[in-house]
Amino acid sequence: MKMISAVVRPFKLDELRNAIAQLGVQGVTVTEVHELDSGPRSKVEIAIDGAITEPVLEAIANVARTGRKGDGRILLANLEQAIRIRPGETGTAAT
The pLDDT assigned to 35 comes to 87
* Alpha carbon separation from 95 to 49, 62, 89, 92 (Å, rounded): 7, 23, 9, 5
Can you tell me the distance from the alpha carbon of 42 to that of 11, in angstroms, rounded to the nearest whole number?
A: 9
Q: Note the residue count of the chain.
A: 95
Reading the chain (95 residues) residue by residue, the pLDDT tens digits are 999 999 999 999 999 999 999 999 988 999 999 988 889 999 999 999 999 999 999 999 999 999 999 999 999 999 999 999 999 999 988 88
Instruction: For the chain, give every domain's residue range.
Output: 2-94
Those residues with Cβ within 8 angstroms of residue 26's Cβ, 6 or more apart along the chain or in another chain = none
The pLDDT assigned to 38 comes to 85
User: From 3.30.420.40, 3.40.50.620, 3.30.70.120, 3.40.630.10, which CATH number describes the 2-94 domain?
Assistant: 3.30.70.120
The pLDDT assigned to 88 comes to 92
The pLDDT assigned to 49 comes to 93
Q: Are strands 2-8 and 39-48 parallel, antiparallel or unpaired?
A: antiparallel
Q: Are 64 and 72 in contact (CB under 8 A)?
A: yes
The pLDDT assigned to 65 comes to 97
